[in-house]
Amino acid sequence: MSVEVTKLPSGLTVVTDTMPHLQTAALGVWTGVGGRDEKPDEHGISHLLEHMAFKGTTKRSSREIVEEIEAVGGDLNAGTSTETTAYYARVMKDDVPLALDVLSDILANPSFVPDELEREKSVIVQEIGAAQDTPDDVVFEHLNELCYPEQPMGRSLLGTPQTLKGFDRDTLQGYLSKHYRGPDMVVAAAGAVDHKQIVEEVQHRFKSFDAAPAPAPLPALFGPGGTKVVHRDLEQAHLTLALEGLPQTDLSLFSLQVFTNVLGGGMSSRLFQEVREKRGLCYSIYTFHAPYTDTGFFGLYTGTDPADAPEMMEVIVDVINDAVETLTEAEISRAKAQMKAGLLMALESCSSRAEQLARHMLAYGRPLAVEELVAKIDAVSVESTSKAARALLSRSRPAVVALGSGRGLDTAVGFAEGLTQGKAKPSYH
- Residues in contact with 395: Cβ distance below 8 Å, sequence separation at least 6, in sequence order: 243, 244
| Helices H / strands E in the chain, number of each | 16, 11
What is the bridge-based pairing of β-strands 24-31 and 237-244?
Answer: unpaired
Residues 184, 32: contact at Cβ < 8 Å? yes
Q: Of 4, 38, 42, 50, which one is the catalytic site residue?
A: 50
- Rounded-to-integer distance, Cα 259 and Cα 331, Å: 9
Q: Any idea what the Cα angle at residue 54 is, between residues 36 and 174, rounded to 5°?
A: 50
What is the bridge-based pairing of β-strands 24-31 and 85-92?
Answer: antiparallel
Evaluated on CA atoms 138, 142, 143, 148, the torsion sign reads positive
- Rounded-to-integer distance, Cα 262 and Cα 256, Å: 10
Three-class secondary structure of residue 149 per DSSP = coil
Burial of 67 (0-12, 13-18, 19+ CB in 10 A): exposed
Q: Would you call 83 a catalytic residue per the annotation?
A: no
Q: Any idea what the Cα angle at residue 231 is, between residues 225 and 232, rounded to 5°?
A: 130
CA-closest candidate to residue 196, choices 110, 90, 96, 124: 96
Instruction: Report the catalytic residues.
Output: 50
